[in-house]
Amino acid sequence: MRFGWMFITVLVAAAATAGAAHAHGGGFVPPPPESGPGGAPGRPTGDPPTHVDPGIGGPITTPGGPPGLAPDRPFKRTRHDETPTFEHSWELWWDINRHALLPRPHHLRPRVVTPGGSDAALPWEAERARLADEVVLPYLRSLVDPKRKVDADVRGSALLALGKLTNAPDDVDRLLYWLEDEKAKPIVRESAALGLGLLRRSDAEQQMSVARLDPLRGRLLMVWDRRLGVKRLRVPERTRVFTMYALGLLGDQPFDERTVAKDGALFSGLLWERVGLPYDERELRIAPIVALGMHPTAGLPEGTRAGFAAIVAKQKTRGRTWDAYERSHVLTAMARLGGPSARKRLLQVLSDARQHDAVTLSATLSVGALAAEWTPIERMLVARQLLKVLDREKAGVLVRGLTVIALGRLLDADCAAGQKRLLTSTDIRKVLEAQATRGPWWSRGYGLIALGFAARNAAKAGDAGIALEKRAGDLLLDALRYKGLHASARGAAAVALGLMGDATHTGALAAIVRGGKLDPELRGHAALALGQLRARTHDVTSALVGALAQRRFERLRGRAALALSLIGNEGAAERLIEELKTGRSTAHLAQVTMALGHLGDLEAVAPLMDAAQTTKSDLVRAMAVVALGRLLDPEPQPSMLKILVPANYPARSAALHEALTIL
């Protein structure tokens, strides 16, 4: 596996291998699966994991679990010798999508802070801005100073954080300098490219002016084309890809409304010109499609939608044919752009049993993630089509699993809108229950998660919804406790309880977290579910703090740290800061820094600055810099979530894989 840049995913994985890998370059040897006392000795092997736990820990392996005695439950006993690949598991879906589903950071709620040594209470945003300007940005600028010798991972981290925290002209120039420096390491150039995309702001008052944005877009396009004026520029393939993603991220920023650039028409047209060019690498063929899908629909060049539709329909377009993976990304771009024609095309793809799985999966993921944008009638039509997909004999594991999740999300959106026809007029509820309680253990996780989605807003659909909510809660709780169920499926039940949002189940989840003889992956999923539920009870806090002390299991500790940051209860910052000061494992220190970044407690700035400046490990220093960028990011939600909704992860390229897992 080639590691091209610093990103959270790569760094934490490198730390978890304890010398088996480096943050960049070289090969990667995954660590042995975590297995606690009484844990399963025979975890599935399958294909080697291709994804790591973003911001949490090392490579994820499909967890095992000991067989047990079957209680009187609706769950059939599962076999533990069935081995899917990680690519087909619900865990990969959850890893890619969870940051779009986790609750809003608690610190975004209105509150005040009292700066150290001061009696004056300031609004959180004002103090955040002060710390960024006076404390963190001067340090970041020193790290990107070309006159200083700085580790490439640390410099890359600083470039990403710089894009999040400032769009001052001099700082934009710093990012452009490193992007265009032909002698810089790839990790630095790639970070600079994405840092320029992270200059986007959702607050109109903080956005760059059109006079600065349009020239910046032009500069990025020149880097993609490998030229600066008449000069040819050497740009590695992956740097070009991230440059195109940066253009996509800037697609919702202002355009000059008085010129041909209005509504992004100029740059959308330039991107459309590059869609379909005969680039040698698939990465380069996919990147302009992804970027164009993040631009305003009003500025789409004439014929773009028709061209996209023709590509999905396997017609020769732009002078060439398109493979299934390219067509899947075109369909995802159409879904992002929205509109009746896109929804019609999604339905047509789902109704075509001869479609390549990659394209069908793109449609399934899109209709699930964007379910709230469909009308009740459209949701009914697509639900009926998804039920037909499940009836296909040749439907693969991943197609069936993601179809079930899409059904759960459609039901969730319908109930949230106060509608009950989808619940009462279809067999969706029975289908979800069957998927959750029968069949191979590795497919049940999808059904359990779909039940969690279906029950989230079910009570808004009247008596039928209330009955669904109770039934789903009972089934999920039974699955969580059932020792005869594979640990992976039990972990899905924990995740589903977190998605469902019913805080009455925190006791059962806390008991799993405290279960020292249980599979550590299961305990980690239960810990993060507690973070989703945000129950500020002594029972929950003590369970999570206890998990932090489990030094044998890094991913468990990382998820417990993230859970504490999501809850944001009194003492969470103090506990994590203490872990940062006393922790010995590099992997754990890296995870704690990221949890502090999620926490949003400005008291964490000082210890993170100390870690960034004084820690001997370049990995921990880099992660502390990333955490500072996350902690002080003015965006309510990370900008990278633009690429995550919907996330066409089954057809992801190497660069898109990293983009999907980095915040």
pLDDT tens per residue, range 515-560: 988 999 999 999 999 999 988 888 999 999 898 888 788 788 888 8
CA 220 to the chain's CA centroid: 25
| Rounded (5°) CA angle 286-291-294 | 135
Residue 591 vs residue 503, higher pLDDT: 503
pLDDT of residue 167: 96
The pLDDT of residue 55 is above 50: no
Residue that has been written with the tokens 């991230």 in this structure: 242
Question: How far is the C-alpha of 623 from the C-alpha of 662, rounded, in Å?
Answer: 12
DSSP-H helix ranges across 583-649: 586-599, 605-614, 618-631, 641-644
pLDDT tens per residue, range 140-180: 999 999 999 999 999 999 999 999 999 999 999 999 999 99
pLDDT tens per residue, range 102-127: 886 554 444 556 665 555 666 878 89
Is residue 341 within 8 A of residue 309, CB to CB? The reply is yes
What average pLDDT does this structure show over 187-213? 95
pLDDT of residue 66: 26
In the structure encoding, which two tokens stand for residue 131, read together? 């710390």
Please provide residue 146's backbone torsions phi and psi, each rounded to the nearest 5 degrees. -65, -15
Residue 6 vs residue 255, higher pLDDT: 255
Residue 610 vs residue 102, higher pLDDT: 610
SS3 345: helix
Is residue 400 within 8 A of residue 436, CB to CB? The reply is no
Is residue 153 within 8 A of residue 185, CB to CB? The reply is no
In the structure encoding, which two tokens stand for residue 321, read together? 């044919």
pTM above 0.95, yes or no: no
Tell me how far apart the terminal alpha carbons of the chain are, to the nearest angstrom.
Answer: 21
Please provide residue 410's backbone torsions phi and psi, each rounded to the nearest 5 degrees. -65, -45
pLDDT of residue 230: 76
Counting Cα atoms < 13 Å in the Cβ hemisphere of 366 gives: 28
Conformation bin of residue 482: beta by default, left when phi > 0, alpha when psi is -120 to 50: beta
Beta bridge partners of 112: 123
How would residue 197 be classed by pLDDT, with cut points 50, 70 and 90? Answer: very high
Please provide residue 52's backbone torsions phi and psi, each rounded to the nearest 5 degrees. -120, 165
- Within 8 A by CB and 6+ apart from 303, the residues are none
Task: Provide the sign of the torsion angle of the four alpha carbons 614, 615, 617, 623, taken in this order.
Answer: negative
pLDDT of residue 83: 56
H/E segment holding residue 214: helix 210-224
Question: What percentage of the chain carries pLDDT values higher than 90?
Answer: 59
CA 156 to the chain's CA centroid: 20
Could you tell me what percentage of the chain is helix, strand and coil, using 3-state DSSP and rounding each to the nearest 5? 65, 0, 35
The pLDDT of residue 274 is above 70: yes
Cα R_g (the chain), whole angstroms? 24
Is residue 545 within 8 A of residue 574, CB to CB? The reply is no
Residue 662 vs residue 145, higher pLDDT: 145
| Rounded (5°) CA angle 39-442-358 | 135
Is residue 547 within 8 A of residue 523, CB to CB? The reply is yes
Question: How far is the C-alpha of 452 from the C-alpha of 407, rounded, in Å?
Answer: 11
DSSP string, 293-341: TTS-GGGPPTTHHHHHHHHHTT--BTTB---HHHHHHHHHHHHHH-SHH
Question: How far is the C-alpha of 319 from the C-alpha of 26, rounded, in Å?
Answer: 39
Is residue 449 within 8 A of residue 477, CB to CB? The reply is no
Question: How far is the C-alpha of 270 from the C-alpha of 85, rounded, in Å?
Answer: 40
pLDDT of residue 160: 96
pLDDT tens per residue, range 482-505: 988 989 999 999 999 999 998 899
What average pLDDT does this structure show over 393-407? 92
Question: Strand 227-228 and strand 122-123: pairing?
Answer: unpaired
Within 10 A of 274 (CB to CB), how many other CB atoms are there?
19
How would residue 645 be classed by pLDDT, with cut points 50, 70 and 90? Answer: confident
The pLDDT of residue 40 is above 70: no
Residue that has been written with the tokens 């075109």 in this structure: 330
In the structure encoding, which two tokens stand for residue 464, read together? 């039928």
Alpha-carbon torsion, ordered 342, 346, 347, 353, to 10 deg: 150
Question: How far is the C-alpha of 427 from the C-alpha of 430, rounded, in Å?
Answer: 5
pLDDT of residue 67: 27
The pLDDT of residue 244 is above 90: yes
pLDDT tens per residue, range 433-447: 999 998 777 789 999
The pLDDT of residue 225 is above 50: yes
H/E segment holding residue 638: none
pLDDT of residue 45: 31
The pLDDT of residue 314 is above 50: yes
pLDDT of residue 73: 45
The pLDDT of residue 418 is above 90: yes
How would residue 84 be classed by pLDDT, with cut points 50, 70 and 90? Answer: low
SS3 231: strand
- Within 8 A by CB and 6+ apart from 391, the residues are none
How would residue 448 be classed by pLDDT, with cut points 50, 70 and 90? Answer: very high
